[in-house]
Amino acid sequence: MDIDVLTELRFAFLSEMVSIAEDERQSLESNFRSYCEKHINQDDFVALGVSIEGEIVSCGFLVVDERPASPAFPNGLTGTVLNVYTYPKHQRKGYGEAVMKAIIDESRKRNLSVLTLSATEAGKRLYEKFGFTELDYTEMKLKIRD
């Protein structure tokens, strides 16, 4: 998939979630492009999408990570789903569902132990439809760097 298209979809998604100042957006876009250039053809980042008449209208990302094995991920292979997004004019047509199915299929091919994601209220029902459940612990973070 074209990095320009991935960038456009990523920032359409992010713009609906948070307000991003123009200078910050330029920096984030540059960093995202660099990430894609480094990872897109590797085994740790997959972009999957739905195309209608040559236009990508929905996409999602799968970030693959290897961790020390544990009861939660017996083979150590985990996946994080990011940025499942469909342009507003194409929503409610099953494209987000198709992207999630493709991500889950790809995760099975890669023998991942578990998939995680952070759900928005808009996406929560879709993820539950695929069997995602809420975790029974509180997600926390520590910001190390701006």
In the chain, what are the domains?
3-129 (3.40.630.30)
What are the helix and strand counts (H, E) for the chain? 4, 4
What is the β-pairing status of strands 55-66 and 45-52?
Answer: antiparallel
The residue among 50, 67, 141 whose CA lies nearest residue 103 is: 50
Between CA 6 and CA 65 the distance in angstroms is 20
The strand ranges marked E within 17-105 are 45-52, 55-66, 77-86
List the pLDDT tens digit at each of the 146 positions of the chain.
Answer: 789 999 999 999 999 889 999 999 999 999 999 999 999 878 899 999 999 999 999 999 999 999 999 998 999 999 999 999 999 999 999 999 999 999 999 999 999 999 999 998 888 999 999 999 988 777 888 989 87
**Beta partners for residue 65, in sequence order:** 78
**Beta partners for residue 46, in sequence order:** 62
Between CA 125 and CA 47 the distance in angstroms is 22
The residue among 132, 105, 103, 95 whose CA lies nearest residue 116 is: 132
pTM greater than 0.85 (yes/no): yes
**Residue 35: partners with Cβ closer than 8 Å, 6 or more residues away:** 45
